[in-house]
Amino acid sequence: MPSTRSIGATALLLAVGLSASHPAYGAASDWIATDFSRLRLVAAGDSIAASGELDIGVQIRLEEGWKTYWRDPGDAGLPPSFDWSASRNVGDVTLAWPAPKRIPFEGLDSYGYEDEVVFPVRLRPARPGEPVRIDLAVDYAVCKDICVPLAARVRLDIPVGVSGDGPGTGAHRALIRRFAARVPVRGGAGLDIVGAGVATGSDGGILRLDARAHPPFESPDAFVEGPAGVFFGRPRVDLGDDPRTAVLELPIGGAEPADYAARPLTVTLVDGDRAIERTVAPGR
């Protein structure tokens, strides 16, 4: 779905649908290429153990100046969606989201990725001991001065066996791990949110987050997901005299206080390469 905040920041073109002509075999699918981006599947191994699971990644490379989006696209954009239903012998699929960056454009902030992103995925076969065919349809958008919705379909066959290092497998495994390290964690990373509350300011509601870091903060940012129709703006950050503590105040728009006070919010706190995800109920 498009962002509920604004879909007018960029012009939307007709969606472009692309598909690999046949399934690839082993540790990577064929690239699906456009003038703006390339997309493929990569696997951490070239086979899957009879009783095991497999780490794979959905890799998107972007041309210079283009971006794609996080699960919450921010002020404008389209979040990617992933449809695994055409796959064979694929049971549980767990996809993770690397922490986004804030990308300003004409006074609006998008949340997403530039250059390259890999969405790490852990896959478990429905019937262990049998081969797996991954058949994935991805709807996503890439944006620069305009926004282009894309529809890509990629396929990858994974045989059963003792996983080895075929051509490129080690590099694919390292790539998946690198982006998995960017996925916000629930605990650790030297970050914590120790308090949250909402108040009414001169321009409306404000969400206050009290955070701690060790080592000290460098440039903290926060991305907040809340009830439908409620959005949270760019935080004002106060590091004060102790850079191990920070106060982040985010303007709240789109709703009355009763719509968000005491409601659970998902907060992604990012500081450089560190990121955590917390569920908070700030109250009033």
- pLDDT digits 0-9 by tens, 216-252: 999 999 999 988 888 899 999 999 889 999 999 999 9
pLDDT value at position 55?
95
27 and 130 housed in the same domain: yes
Percent of the chain residues topping a pLDDT of 90: 68
Tell me if 186 is assigned to some domain: no
176 and 249 housed in the same domain: no
Tell me if 74 is assigned to some domain: yes
What does pLDDT average to over the chain?
88
pLDDT value at position 9?
39
> Which structural domain range is residue 242 located in?
191-280
**SS3 sequence, the chain?**
CCCCCCCCCCEECCCEEEECCCCEECCECCCEECCCEEEEEEECCCCECCCCCEEEEEEEEECCCCEEEEEEEECCCCCCEEECCCCECCCCEEECCCCCEEEEECCEEEEEEECEEEEEEEECCCCCCCCEEEEEEEEEEEECCEEEEEEEEEEEEECECCCCCCCCHHHHHHHHHHHHCCCCECCCCCEEEEEEEEEEECCEEEEEEEEEECCCCCCEEEEEECCCCCEECCCEEECCCCCCEEEEEEEEECCCHHHCCCCCEEEEEEECCEEEEEEECCCC
Q: Supply the CATH number for residue 258's domain.
A: 2.60.40.1150
- Whether residue 4 is predicted with pLDDT greater than 50 in this model: the reply is no
Tell me if 40 is assigned to some domain: yes
Tell me if 44 is assigned to some domain: yes
* Whether pTM exceeds 0.85: yes
143 and 220 housed in the same domain: no
233 and 257 housed in the same domain: yes
173 and 258 housed in the same domain: no
Residue where a domain terminates, one of 180, 213, 245: 180
171 and 259 housed in the same domain: no
pLDDT value at position 141?
96
171 and 261 housed in the same domain: no
244 and 165 housed in the same domain: no
32 and 88 housed in the same domain: yes
Instruction: Tell me how many domains the chain contains.
Output: 2
pLDDT value at position 23?
59
> pLDDT digit string (tens) for 87-135?
999 999 999 999 999 999 888 999 999 999 999 999 999 999 999 999 9
> pLDDT digit string (tens) for 32-81?
999 999 999 999 988 888 778 999 999 999 999 999 999 999 998 999 99
